[in-house]
C-alpha cells in the first residue's frame, strides 16, 4: 500500500501523510451505561455528572484537586465539561496504547470542540508490569476561544521514551468545552520527491547517482522506482548510511514487507539492521508481524550482524525465526512444539497462577502430528496453569467490507480429567483482559462448548477453538490456553492462530420424489383400519405406546421443509410413526410456495400438500399430524391493540419462527407479533385449525393419522420469554388473579400490599439492579412477580393445549397428542401440563453436551411423567456429516457427528437414556437431509430394533433405582433470572450438576416432590437428593420429617433447600430441615470449594476442587473479584458435630455430613455442590445398587443397560439381577452367561448397549 503511495509521489509529486488512529472510540460513538463504580469515581473526584451513559473507553478525573460539571449525551455524542479550580483530566479507560504501536511515528492530536478553554495533551507511561513511570506532555497547549473548532498538535515520537512498555491517554482540561472528538493518529511524512529528470535516466545512471549521494533523500525516493535493480541499490545505500538514514526506516519496512524482488527485500532488511537501536521498534514490529517471509528474512539479517543478535531483539528474533519450518497461516512460531526441548519452549511461556502446582515438558512419545507435543500436568486443585504466547499477535484493523473471523485452534489429549476441570482457549489483551469466543459470531456457544474438558481415548485427539472478529482498529492479542480445576495431565499440539480455515461441506436439502400418486396411496390406505394410538399404563406402572393395538417403541421421524424421506425411514429404518406437516405460515423457499392462510381464506391445496406428500411417499406408515400454528403476517397491522408490547410500549416483532425484538421493523422479512394472551388472536387460530381438521377428516388418507403434534409461537414451542404489557396480557393477568385469590383482601394479604385491588393490579416490573447478587425472590416483597411467573408459564401450555383438545374433539380420543417443551424436562410449569390432553412432550437434550465423552442427555423428571401418563420424547436433531451448515465452533456446540461411528455413539448415548427410563425419542431431520444417507439409516434402524425389544419387555420391568432426585415445581417461580430474560444461575448449576451425577455409576430415579408424596415410591428409595426445593410448604416439610428421615435413608440438601415459605424468607427453616447448625451469609460470596483433609470412607476419591459452581463460573470469568455477577449468597456450616468434607476458600465449612441413628444428612452449601464421586460413596455406604465406579453414564432397567464411557478403563459392571444371557444389543453377540456381573474395557467416547435375558 505504501509503495503505491510512493509511486504516486514520483508520478504526480503529491504530498502524502500516512495516519493511523490509536485512540479507542475517538468520536464517542460507543457508550456504556453508568454503573455504581463509575458514579462513585465521579463523586470521589468532585465531579457533578448528569446523564445515564458515558463514552466507552473514556473517563474523567480531578486534576490537582480541581472538579467541575460533566455531562454526556449519546444522541448528540457531545461530552460537555465545565471545570472548577485546577481543572479536570480526561483519560483513557480500560485499555492501554502499546509503545510499539506508536513506533517511530509522531502523534497528531485532533480535538473537535466548541466553547472557551484549553487542553494540554500527554501520556501516562508504564512498564510491562503496569507500574507507573512518568508523565510526558506536549509542549503546545490547545486553546479554544468560541465556536466549533478543530485544534491539532504534533507530539514527536522522540518525546515518548523507548524504554516504556505502554501508555494511557491524558488530557488536562480548563474552561467550558463541548467536545465531540478526541483523536490521535500516528503520522509519517511523505518521502522526498524524485527530480523529474531522474526517471529519464538509465538504470545505470540512476544507480550511479544513488551511490554518490551523501544523504538519505535520493535513495529513499528511489524506493519507488519501477526497476528492482535500482531499488536494490537504493536499499544498499541506505544501509551504508546507517543511522543517518533513520528517517527512511518505515519505508524500508514497507519495502521488506511488500517488494516483489528478493534481493531488494534482503537489502531492505540489512539497511534496517545498520541503523542501530533507534530502529529497533520498527524491527520488532516486523518480527512480530503477520508476514512470515519478512520475519524470516529480517531474522536472518539480524543474526548476521557483526556483534550478533542485540539483547533487546533476542526474544523477537526467536519468535520470528524458530528452528522449525513455518508451514501455515498461523503466526505462532512453534505451535507444534517441534523446535522445543525439555522445558525450553519457543514462543511460549507456562505460568502457575493462584496456587496451582504442576509441571510441563516436551513429550517425544505422544504427538498429534510431527514427533512430539507439550505435556502439562496439574497436580492440585488450586488456581490455574496458563500456556501463553510469549509475544502478541497483531490483528490488523479490518477493511470495512472484510470482517472474516479468525480462529484460534489447538488439539489436546487427556485421559484422567474429572468433571469439574476446564481447558479454556483465550485471547489475552496487552492490558491483561481475557477474551473468550466472540459472542457476536457464536451467541455464547463457544463459551459453552469450549470450556469443560472431555477425556479422549488413548488413540484420539480432541479439537478446541474460539473465534475472533477483527475490529476497526489494530488488536494485539496473546493466544493462551488455561487449565483450571482438578489434577490432570493433558497433551497439547498443533496450536494455530490464525488457524487454517475449517470447512465441512454440506449437501442441500433433498426434494424427495414421491413413490406413489395420491390416488394409489389412498387405495393402499383404504384397505387399512383407521389408525389408533394410545399411551397405556402397564400393571407395573410403566407406560407403553400402542399403535393400532400393538405395542411399539416410541420412536418417530420428523422432517422439515418438503416432508423428508418418510419412505426410506419406514422401509430401511423401520420407523413406524412419521410427522406429516400442516403449516399456516408463509412458505418462501420450498414448496408449497406462498401463503396458505391469509386470515380469512384457506388455500386447501397448500394446507394439505405437506400431508399428501408424506402419504404419497410412505402410505404404509402411520402419521402424526404436525400442525404449525402461526397468525397471518398482517394480523397486528389490522389489530394493533392485540400486539405484544414491552414495558416501554414498543411492539414485538419477529419472523415465522422467532420473536426477535421490540421497536421498529428491521426490514421487510419481519412482522409484528400478536400478544400471546390475545383472545382475539387465539380464537381466530382455533376456528381455523378446527376447520382444517374437519376438512381433513373428509380425505380418504385421514385413516392413516394416529395423532397430532402442535407447534407454534416462538421457536415452535409457544415460548413466552419476554414479559408482555399489552392490554390483552393485562386483562388475562387480572382474570388469573381473580381465579387465584377471589377477593381483593386476599390478594393484598398475599402480596403484603395493603390497598391493592385485582381490577387495578398491574403487570410487575422488576428492577435488575435491586436484585443484583440474589438468586431467589423474597416472597414478602416480590409475591406479585412470583405469581406472574406462574401465570406466564401456565399460559405457555394453555396456548398450545387448546389445539390438542380440538384435535381430539374432531378425530376422537383414540389418538395421541404431543407438543414441544423449550427448557428441558424439569424447569417448567408441568403441573399445568399434567392437566392437558397431551400424551407426550418433546424437549431437546443439551446441545453442548452431545459430543462423545460428555455427560449429556436430557435432565428430566422421568418417574413423575410416567406417574401422570405422559411420555417424554427426546428430540435427536443431531444433524450429521451430510448437513454441516455452521462454523467450526457452532458445529461443536450442536454436537454434529462427522462420521457414522460418531453418529451411532451419540444416538446410543441419548436414546439409551430414554429407552431405559421407559420414554422415547424422535429424529428431527432439519433441512430434510440430515439422515439422507444409507449408513445413517442403518444406525437408525438398528437402534430402533433394540428399542422395540426393550419396549416389548416393558411390562415386566421391575427395576427401581435406590437413589432419587427430588425436584420442586413451585420453587422455579421463586428463581430470579440470572440476567434479563435468562434462566436462574443456581438452577442452571443444578442442571450442570445433574449431568455430572450421571457419571457416578449410580442409577437414579427423578420425581417432583408432590408426586413422591402422593405415591408410595418413596418407600423404595434409600437416597433422596433435594435439587431445587427452595420453597417448601408446611405439609411438605412434615412429609420429609415423618417419612424420609428414617430407615437408614440418606438425604442430600443442595444450597438453599427449604429457606423460603410461600410468604416469607426464612433461612432458619433450612437449619431445622437439615439438622445442621448453619450461618446464612446474605452477601454474595465466592463459592470455590476445596476438599478437606479428612480420612473417612465418604472422602475417598473426591475431587480436590468440589462441585460445579466454581468451574462453571470460570467459563466466563477467572477473576475472584467480590463484584463478580456469578457470586451469590450461601449458607456456611457451623456445626461441631458435622463431618466436614469441603470448605470454601476462606476456610468456612461448605460440605458436611451428619450421621444420625436412623438417617444421614448431607448438606451442600454451594449451588451445584454434589459430585458424582461423593454420590457414589454415599450409595456404597447406604447399600444402594451401583452399576460401576464413576466414569460411565449408566441407564438401567431390568432387561437393558446403556453405558457410555467418559473415562477410559476396565470397568466391573454389576447387573440389576442375574442374567442367563448378556448380549451386545447392537451386534447380537453373547458376551456373558449366567452371571450378575462382568468386566468391560470401555475407552472414552464408547457407547455400548446390553440386553439382559
17 neighbors 5 (Cβ within 8 angstroms): no
Rounded Cα distance, 373 and 365, in Å: 8
Instruction: Give φ, ψ of 421 to 5 degrees.
Output: -135, 135
Query: Dihedral through CA 608, CA 873, CA 848, CA 1169, nearest 10?
Result: 150
Q: Tell me, what's the pLDDT at 937?
A: 95
Q: Tell me, what's the pLDDT at 158?
A: 78
Q: Residue 326: is the preceding peptide bond cis (ω within 30°)? A: no
Of the candidate ranges 36-50, 290-304, 640-654, 1039-1053, the one whose mean pLDDT is the lowest: 36-50
Burial class (CB within 10 angstroms; exposed 0-12, middle 13-18, buried 19+) of 754 = exposed
Q: CB neighbours of 492 closer than 8 A, spacing ≥ 6? A: 337, 373, 374, 376, 387, 410, 411, 412, 481
Give tens-digit pLDDT for 150-162. 999 988 887 888 7
CA angle 265, 479, 454 (to 5 degrees): 140
Work out the mean pLDDT of the chain and round it to a whole number.
91
Residue 152 sits in the same domain as residue 203 = no
Alpha helices per DSSP H over 290-368: 292-303, 314-320
CATH number of the domain within which 1149 lies: 3.40.50.880
This prediction has a pTM of 0.89
Measured N-to-C along each axis, helices 779-811 and 744-751 cross at an angle, to the nearest 10 degrees, of 120
CA angle 1151, 1156, 1157 (to 5 degrees): 160
1131 neighbors 1020 (Cβ within 8 angstroms): no
Q: CB neighbours of 1089 closer than 8 A, spacing ≥ 6? A: 1105, 1106, 1107, 1109, 1110, 1142, 1143, 1144, 1145, 1150, 1151, 1166, 1169
Measured N-to-C along each axis, helices 744-751 and 727-741 cross at an angle, to the nearest 10 degrees, of 100
Q: CB neighbours of 1121 closer than 8 A, spacing ≥ 6? A: none
| 608 part of a folded domain | no
Rounded Cα distance, 127 and 133, in Å: 7
Rounded Cα distance, 855 and 88, in Å: 56
Residue 767 reports pLDDT greater than 80: no
Give tens-digit pLDDT for 624-674. 999 999 999 999 999 999 999 999 999 999 998 999 999 999 999 999 999
Band of pLDDT at residue 1092, cut at 50, 70 and 90: very high
Residue 940 sits in the same domain as residue 967 = no
Of 661, 672, 667, 608, the closest CA to residue 636 belongs to: 672
Q: Strands 421-429 and 406-414, how do they pair?
A: unpaired
**Average pLDDT, integer, range 106-127:** 93
Residue 206 sits in the same domain as residue 184 = no
| 667 part of a folded domain | no
Residue 183 sits in the same domain as residue 203 = no
Q: Tell me, what's the pLDDT at 9?
A: 35
| 707 part of a folded domain | no
CATH number of the domain within which 164 lies: 2.60.120.260
Detail the DSSP E strand segments found in 894-992.
920-925, 963-967
Q: Which whole-number Å values give the CA distances from 684 to 673, 690, 693, 1021, in the listed order?
A: 14, 10, 14, 49
Handedness of CA 1029, 1032, 1036, 1040 (dihedral sign): positive
Of 960, 1040, 1045, 1036, the closest CA to residue 1005 belongs to: 960
Rounded Cα distance, 1199 and 949, in Å: 9
Residue 10 reports pLDDT greater than 60: no
Q: Tell me, what's the pLDDT at 982?
A: 52
Q: Which whole-number Å values give the CA distances from 833 to 411, 636, 788, in the listed order?
A: 45, 29, 17
Residue 191 reports pLDDT greater than 80: no
| 365 part of a folded domain | yes
Q: Which whole-number Å values give the CA distances from 431 to 38, 128, 637, in the listed order?
A: 19, 9, 51
What the block records as the C-alpha cell of 503 is 470447512
Of 877, 810, 815, the closest CA to residue 840 belongs to: 815
Residue 910 sits in the same domain as residue 996 = no
Of the candidate ranges 451-460, 990-999, 1110-1119, the one whose mean pLDDT is the lowest: 1110-1119
From 148, 166, 188, give the residue that closes a domain.
188
Of 299, 216, 297, 218, the closest CA to residue 255 belongs to: 297
Residue 473 reports pLDDT greater than 80: no
Rounded Cα distance, 198 and 205, in Å: 9
Q: Specify the number of domains making up the chain.
A: 6
Rounded Cα distance, 84 and 544, in Å: 81
1022 neighbors 1175 (Cβ within 8 angstroms): no
537 neighbors 953 (Cβ within 8 angstroms): no
Q: Tell me, what's the pLDDT at 543?
A: 97
Q: CB neighbours of 310 closer than 8 A, spacing ≥ 6? A: 277, 280, 302
H or E element, residue 579:
strand 577-583
Rounded Cα distance, 29 and 547, in Å: 63
Instruction: Give φ, ψ of 1018 to 5 degrees.
Output: -60, -25
Of the candidate ranges 190-204, 575-589, 1083-1097, 1115-1129, the one whose mean pLDDT is the lowest: 1115-1129
Residue 421 sits in the same domain as residue 489 = yes
Give the neighbor-by-neighbor strand order of the sheet with 1192-1197.
1192-1197, 1200-1205, 1247-1252, 1209-1224, 1230-1242
606 neighbors 554 (Cβ within 8 angstroms): no
Residue 365 sits in the same domain as residue 481 = yes
Residue 997 sits in the same domain as residue 1105 = yes
Rounded Cα distance, 800 and 828, in Å: 14
Q: Which whole-number Å values give the CA distances from 258 to 13, 80, 189, 194, 290, in the listed order?
A: 22, 45, 20, 21, 12
Handedness of CA 665, 671, 677, 678 (dihedral sign): positive
H or E element, residue 11:
helix 2-12
From 898, 928, 950, give the residue that closes a domain.
950
Rounded Cα distance, 396 and 729, in Å: 50
Q: Tell me, what's the pLDDT at 837?
A: 96
Instruction: Give φ, ψ of 210 to 5 degrees.
Output: -60, -45
Of the candidate ranges 36-40, 875-879, 1124-1128, 1196-1200, the one whose mean pLDDT is the lowest: 1124-1128
Residue 1121 sits in the same domain as residue 979 = yes
840 neighbors 535 (Cβ within 8 angstroms): yes
Measured N-to-C along each axis, helices 985-997 and 1172-1182 cross at an angle, to the nearest 10 degrees, of 60
Alpha helices per DSSP H over 998-1056: 1009-1014, 1034-1039
Please tell me which of 37-41, 85-89, 981-985 the model is most confident about, judged by mean pLDDT. Answer: 85-89
Burial class (CB within 10 angstroms; exposed 0-12, middle 13-18, buried 19+) of 759 = exposed
Band of pLDDT at residue 11, cut at 50, 70 and 90: very low
Q: Tell me, what's the pLDDT at 4?
A: 37
870 neighbors 834 (Cβ within 8 angstroms): yes
Of 815, 969, 862, the closest CA to residue 542 belongs to: 862
Q: Tell me, what's the pLDDT at 980?
A: 38
Q: Tell me, what's the pLDDT at 38?
A: 86
Residue 38 sits in the same domain as residue 170 = yes
For residue 628, the cross-strand partners are 583, 711
Rounded Cα distance, 574 and 934, in Å: 13
| 1053 part of a folded domain | yes
Q: Tell me, what's the pLDDT at 1093?
A: 82
| 461 part of a folded domain | yes
Residue 212 sits in the same domain as residue 166 = no
Q: CB neighbours of 1099 closer than 8 A, spacing ≥ 6? A: 1091, 1092, 1141, 1177
CATH number of the domain within which 228 lies: 1.25.10.10
Q: Tell me, what's the pLDDT at 431?
A: 78
Q: Tell me, what's the pLDDT at 130?
A: 84
Task: Output Rg (C-alpha) for the chain, integer angstroms.
Answer: 35
Q: Tell me, what's the pLDDT at 194?
A: 80
Of 888, 938, 961, the closest CA to residue 499 belongs to: 888
Rounded Cα distance, 225 and 235, in Å: 12
Q: Which domain holds residue 265?
A: 197-320
| 485 part of a folded domain | yes
Q: How far is CA 144 from the centre of its chain?
A: 49
Give the percent of the chain with pLDDT over 70: 96
| 1170 part of a folded domain | yes
Residue 596 reports pLDDT greater than 70: yes
Residue 110 reports pLDDT greater than 70: yes
Of 61, 55, 69, the closest CA to residue 27 belongs to: 55
From 895, 926, 950, give the residue that closes a domain.
950
**Average pLDDT, integer, range 1174-1181:** 98
**Average pLDDT, integer, range 1226-1230:** 97
CATH number of the domain within which 422 lies: 2.60.120.430
Of 10, 366, 515, 422, the closest CA to residue 223 belongs to: 10
Q: Strands 132-155 and 106-126, how do they pair?
A: antiparallel
Residue with cell 520498527: 282
Residue 392 reports pLDDT greater than 60: yes
Of the candidate ranges 681-695, 970-984, 994-1008, 1193-1207, the one whose mean pLDDT is the lowest: 970-984
966 neighbors 1027 (Cβ within 8 angstroms): yes
Of the candidate ranges 510-519, 1056-1065, 1070-1079, the one whose mean pLDDT is the lowest: 510-519
Rounded Cα distance, 402 and 470, in Å: 9
Band of pLDDT at residue 590, cut at 50, 70 and 90: low
Of 603, 560, 594, 592, the closest CA to residue 579 belongs to: 560
What the block records as the C-alpha cell of 1176 is 457414589
Residue 312 sits in the same domain as residue 356 = no
Q: Tell me, what's the pLDDT at 196?
A: 84
Q: Strands 622-629 and 705-712, how do they pair?
A: parallel
Band of pLDDT at residue 19, cut at 50, 70 and 90: low
**Average pLDDT, integer, range 344-367:** 96
Amino acid at each position: 500500500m505504501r509503495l503505491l503511495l510512493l509511486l504516486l509521489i514520483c508520478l504526480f509529486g503529491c504530498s502524502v501523510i500516512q495516519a493511523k488512529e490509536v485512540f479507542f472510540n475517538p468520536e464517542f460513538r460507543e457508550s456504556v451505561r453508568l454503573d455504581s463504580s463509575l458514579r462513585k469515581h465521579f463523586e470521589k473526584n468532585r465531579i457533578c455528572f448528569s446523564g445515564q451513559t458515558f463514552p466507552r473507553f473514556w473517563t474523567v478525573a480531578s486534576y490537582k484537586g480541581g472538579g467541575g460539571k460533566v455531562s454526556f449525551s449519546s444522541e448528540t455524542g457531545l461530552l460537555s465539561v465545565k471545570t472548577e479550580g485546577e481543572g479536570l483530566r480526561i483519560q483513557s479507560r480500560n485499555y492501554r496504547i502499546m509503545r510499539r504501536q506508536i513506533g517511530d511515528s509522531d502523534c497528531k492530536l485532533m480535538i473537535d470542540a466548541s466553547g472557551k478553554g484549553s487542553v494540554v495533551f500527554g501520556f501516562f507511561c508504564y512498564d510491562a508490569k503496569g507500574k507507573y513511570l512518568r508523565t510526558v506532555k506536549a509542549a503546545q497547549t490547545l486553546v479554544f476561544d468560541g465556536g466549533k473548532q478543530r485544534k491539532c498538535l504534533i507530539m514527536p515520537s522522540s518525546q515518548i521514551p523507548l524504554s516504556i512498555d505502554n501508555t494511557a491517554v491524558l488530557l488536562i482540561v480548563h474552561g467550558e468545552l463541548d467536545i465531540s472528538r478526541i483523536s490521535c493518529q500516528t503520522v509519517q511524512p511523505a518521502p522526498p520527491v524524485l527530480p523529474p529528470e531522474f526517471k529519464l535516466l538509465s538504470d545505470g545512471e540512476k544507480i550511479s547517482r544513488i551511490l554518490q549521494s551523501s544523504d538519505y533523500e535520493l535513495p529513499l525516493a528511489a524506493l519507488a522506482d519501477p526497476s528492482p535493480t535500482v531499488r536494490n541499490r537504493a536499499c544498499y545505500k541506505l544501509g551504508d548510511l546507517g543511522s543517518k538514514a533513520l528517517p527512511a526506516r518505515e519505508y524500508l519496512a514497507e519495502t521488506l514487507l511488500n517488494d516483489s524482488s528478493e534481493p531488494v527485500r534482503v537489502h531492505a532488511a540489512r539497511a534496517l539492521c545498520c541503523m542501530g537501536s533507534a530502529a529497533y521498534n520498527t524491527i520488532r514490529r516486523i518480527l512480530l508481524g503477520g508476514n512470515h517471509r519478512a520475519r524470516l528474512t529480517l531474522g536472518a539479517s539480524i543474526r548476521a550482524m557483526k556483534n550478533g543478535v542485540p539483547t533487546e531483539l533476542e526474544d523477537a528474533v526467536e519468535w520470528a525465526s524458530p528452528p522449525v519450518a513455518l508451514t501455515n497461516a498461523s503466526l505462532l512460531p512453534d505451535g507444534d512444539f517441534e523446535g522445543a526441548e525439555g522445558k525450553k519452549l519457543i514462543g511460549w511461556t507456562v505460568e502457575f497462577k493462584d496456587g496451582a502446582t504442576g509441571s510441563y515438558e516436551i513429550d517425544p512419545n505422544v504427538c498429534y502430528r510431527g514427533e512430539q507435543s507439550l505435556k502439562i500436568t496439574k497436580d492440585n486443585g488450586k488456581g490455574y496453569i496458563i500456556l501463553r504466547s510469549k509475544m502478541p499477535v497483531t490483528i490488523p484493523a479490518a477493511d470495512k467490507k472484510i470482517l472474516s473471523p479468525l480462529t484460534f485452534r489447538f488439539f489436546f489429549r487427556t485421559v484422567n480429567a474429572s468433571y469439574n476441570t476446564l481447558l479454556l482457549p483465550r485471547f489475552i489483551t496487552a492490558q491483561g483482559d481475557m477474551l473468550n469466543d466472540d459472542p457476536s459470531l457464536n451467541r455464547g456457544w463457544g463459551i459453552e462448548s469450549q470450556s469443560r474438558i472431555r477425556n479422549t481415548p488413548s488413540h484420539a485427539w480432541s479439537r478446541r477453538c474460539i473465534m475472533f472478529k477483527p475490529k476497526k482498529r489494530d488488536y494485539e492479542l496473546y493466544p493462551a490456553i488455561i487449565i483450571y480445576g482438578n489434577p490432570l495431565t493433558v497433551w497439547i499440539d498443533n496450536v494455530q492462530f490464525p488457524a487454517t480455515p475449517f470447512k465441512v461441506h454440506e449437501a442441500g436439502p433433498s426434494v424427495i420424489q414421491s413413490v406413489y400418486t395420491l390416488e394409489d396411496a389412498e387405495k393402499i390406505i383404504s384397505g387399512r383400519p383407521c389408525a389408533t394410538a394410545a399411551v397405556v399404563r402397564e400393571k407395573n406402572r410403566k407406560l407403553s405406546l400402542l399403535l393400532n393395538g400393538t405395542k411399539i417403541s416410541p420412536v418417530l421421524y420428523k422432517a422439515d421443509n418438503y416432508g423428508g424421506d418418510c419412505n426410506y425411514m419406514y422401509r430401511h429404518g423401520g420407523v413406524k410413526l412419521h410427522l406429516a406437516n400442516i403449516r399456516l405460515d408463509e412458505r418462501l423457499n420450498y414448496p408449497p410456495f406462498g401463503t396458505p392462510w391469509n386470515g380469512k381464506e384457506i388455500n386447501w391445496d397448500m394446507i394439505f400438500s405437506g400431508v399428501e406428500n408424506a402419504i404419497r411417499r410412505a402410505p404404509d406408515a402411520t402419521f402424526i399430524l404436525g400442525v404449525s400454528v402461526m397468525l397471518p403476517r398482517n394480523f397486528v397491522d389490522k389489530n394493533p391493540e392485540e400486539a405484544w408490547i414491552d414495558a416501554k410500549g414498543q411492539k414485538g416483532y419477529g419472523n415465522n419462527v422467532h420473536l426477535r425484538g421490540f421497536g421498529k421493523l428491521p426490514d421487510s422479512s419481519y412482522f409484528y407479533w400478536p400478544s400471546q394472551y390475545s383472545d382475539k388472536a387465539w380464537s381466530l387460530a382455533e376456528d381455523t385449525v378446527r376447520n382444517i381438521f374437519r376438512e381433513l377428516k373428509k380425505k380418504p388418507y385421514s385413516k392413516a393419522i394416529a395423532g397430532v403434534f402442535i407447534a407454534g409461537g416462538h421457536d415452535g414451542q409457544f415460548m413466552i420469554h419476554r414479559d408482555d404489557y399489552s392490554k390483552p396480557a393485562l386483562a388475562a393477568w387480572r382474570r388469573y388473579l381473580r381465579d387465584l385469590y377471589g377477593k381483593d383482601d386476599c390478594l393484598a394479604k398475599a402480596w403484603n400490599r395493603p390497598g391493592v385491588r385485582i381490577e387495578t393490579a398491574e403487570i410487575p416490573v422488576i428492577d435488575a439492579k435491586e436484585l443484583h447478587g440474589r438468586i431467589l425472590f423474597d416472597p414478602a416483597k416480590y409475591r406479585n412477580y412470583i405469581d406472574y411467573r406462574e401465570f406466564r408459564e401456565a399460559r405457555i401450555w394453555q396456548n398450545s393445549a387448546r389445539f390438542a383438545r380440538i384435535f381430539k374433539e374432531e378425530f376422537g380420543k383414540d389418538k395421541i397428542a404431543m407438543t414441544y417443551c423449550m427448557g428441558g424436562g424439569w424447569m417448567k410449569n408441568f403441573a399445568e401440563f399434567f392437566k392437558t390432553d397431551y400424551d407426550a412432550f418433546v424437549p431437546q437434550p443439551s446441545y453442548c453436551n452431545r459430543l462423545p465423552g460428555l455427560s449429556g442427555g436430557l435432565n428430566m423428571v422421568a418417574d413423575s411423567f410416567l406417574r401422570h401418563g405422559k411420555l417424554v420424547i427426546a428430540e435427536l436433531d443431531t444433524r450429521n456429516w451430510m448437513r454441516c451448515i455452521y462454523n467450526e465452533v457452532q458445529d461443536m456446540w450442536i454436537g454434529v457427528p462427522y462420521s457414522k461411528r460418531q453418529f451411532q455413539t451419540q444416538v446410543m448415548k441419548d436414546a439409551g437414556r430414554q429407552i431405559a427410563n421407559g420414554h422415547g425419542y424422535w429424529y428431527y431431520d432439519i433441512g430434510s437431509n440430515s439422515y439422507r444417507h444409507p449408513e445413517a439409516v442403518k444406525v437408525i434402524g438398528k437402534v430402533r430394533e433394540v428399542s422395540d425389544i426393550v419396549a416389548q419387555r416393558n411390562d415386566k420391568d421391575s427395576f427401581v433405582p435406590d437413589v432419587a432426585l427430588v425436584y420442586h415445581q413451585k420453587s422455579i417461580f421463586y428463581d430470579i433470572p440470572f440476567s434479563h430474560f435468562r434462566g436462574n444461575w443456581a438452577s442452571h448449576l443444578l442442571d450442570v450438576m445433574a449431568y455430572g451425577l450421571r457419571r457416578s455409576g449410580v442409577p437414579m430415579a427423578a420425581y417432583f416432590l408432590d408426586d413422591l408424596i402422593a405415591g408410595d415410591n418413596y418407600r423404595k428409595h434409600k437416597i433422596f437428593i433435594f435439587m431445587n426445593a427452595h420453597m417448601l410448604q408446611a405439609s411438605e416439610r412434615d412429609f420429609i420429617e415423618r417419612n424420609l428421615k428414617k430407615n437408614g435413608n440418606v438425604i442430600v440438601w443442595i444450597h438453599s433447600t427449604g429457606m423460603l415459605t410461600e410468604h416469607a424468607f426464612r433461612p432458619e427453616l433450612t437449619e431445622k430441615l437439615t439438622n445442621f447448625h448453619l450461618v446464612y451469609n446474605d452477601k454474595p460470596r465466592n463459592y470455590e470449594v476445596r476438599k478437606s483433609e479428612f480420612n473417612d470412607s465418604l472422602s475417598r476419591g473426591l475431587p480436590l476442587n468440589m462441585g460445579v459452581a466454581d468451574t462453571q463460573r470460570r467459563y466466563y470469568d477467572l477473576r475472584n473479584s467480590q463484584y463478580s455477577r456469578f457470586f451469590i449468597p450461601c449458607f456456611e456450616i457451623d456445626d461441631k458435630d458435622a463431618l466436614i468434607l469441603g470448605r470454601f476458600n476462606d476456610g468456612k465449612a461448605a460440605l458436611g455430613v451428619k450421621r444420625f441413628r436412623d438417617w444421614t444428612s448431607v448438606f451442600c452449601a454451594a449451588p451445584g455442590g454434589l459430585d458424582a464421586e461423593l454420590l457414589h460413596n454415599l450409595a456404597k455406604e447406604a447399600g444402594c445398587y451401583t452399576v460401576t465406579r464413576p466414569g460411565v453414564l449408566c441407564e438401567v432397567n431390568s432387561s437393558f443397560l446403556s453405558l457410555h464411557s467418559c473415562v477410559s478403563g476396565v470397568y466391573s459392571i454389576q447387573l440389576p439381577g442375574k442374567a442367563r444371557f448378556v448380549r451386545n444389543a447392537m451386534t447380537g453377540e453373547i458376551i456373558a452367561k449366567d452371571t450378575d456381573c462382568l468386566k468391560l474395557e470401555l475407552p472414552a467416547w464408547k457407547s455400548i448397549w446390553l440386553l439382559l435375558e
